[in-house]
Amino acid sequence: MTTDKPAPAKSRELGIAEQVAVYQREFPTVDPQVETIVQTLSRVARRMGVAYDRQLTVLGITSAEWEVLKALVVAGSPYRLGPGELAKRLGLTPAAMTHRIDRMVAEDLVTRERDESNRVRVIIELTENGRDKWLESMRMAAVFEEELLQDVKGEERAVLSAMLARMLRRIEESQPDALGRTADLT
């Protein structure tokens, strides 16, 4: 005799209102407006990360590789940095940076050459292919971001931008370790 076990219920993420209601049930003094804002921001950030990762996958690069490309672009023309400086900017160990650079050289995203003026020093430089991938990722991101903000118009964008900047500044002031790797850039 066999017993049919019911299929496990599909798990789903609670809606924000449901999640806030649970928080209020378990912690009655929680401010529902604050929790709604925080949970919404968290979900927006998480879902944006997923969308960006999908775009990078289409381009055949990882978010880790994109970070290296970005660091080289931010450094400005001729888009070159030493591996130690790259590691510092990305908050990586030298060994992790070497591993990442090895993959990126093999993928023709960057080159690794000895500095002609100091043969001990190595220079990592963005290739044309690497710059093209970075530019295409920015084009794709711009389309996604415009779609994301399509319901936020004109002055609302300025207000939202200012509010988010204040929130970020508050976190950075009250949680200095939240700066993470950016603290190394100062």
**Strands laid side by side in the 110-115 sheet:** 80-81, 118-126, 110-115
φ, ψ for residue 162, nearest 5 deg: -65, -40
Residue 145 region by backbone torsions, left for phi larger than 0, else alpha for psi between -120 and 50, else beta: alpha
User: Per-residue confidence at 7, pLDDT binned at 50, 70, 90?
Assistant: low
pLDDT digits (tens, 9 = 90+) for 58-76: 999 999 999 999 999 999 9
pLDDT digits (tens, 9 = 90+) for 77-118: 999 999 999 999 998 999 999 999 999 999 999 999 988 888
Each residue of 39-67: b (16+ CB within 10 Å) or e? beeeeeeeeeeebbeebbeeeebbeebbb
CATH topology of domain 62-175: Arc Repressor Mutant, subunit A (1.10.10)
Check if the beta carbon of residue 98 is closer than 8 Å to that of residue 140.
no
How many CB atoms sit inside 10 A of residue 110's CB?
27
Distances 15 to 30, 115, 177 between C-alpha atoms, Å = 17, 55, 31
Distances 59 to 17, 104, 112 between C-alpha atoms, Å = 37, 14, 22
Per-residue pLDDT at 3 exceeds 90 = no
Q: Are β-strands 118-126 and 80-81 bridged in parallel, bridged antiparallel, or unpaired?
A: antiparallel
The mean pLDDT of 118-136, rounded to a whole number, is 94
User: Per-residue confidence at 9, pLDDT binned at 50, 70, 90?
Assistant: low
| Chain region(s) in the chain for CATH 1.10.10.10 | 62-175
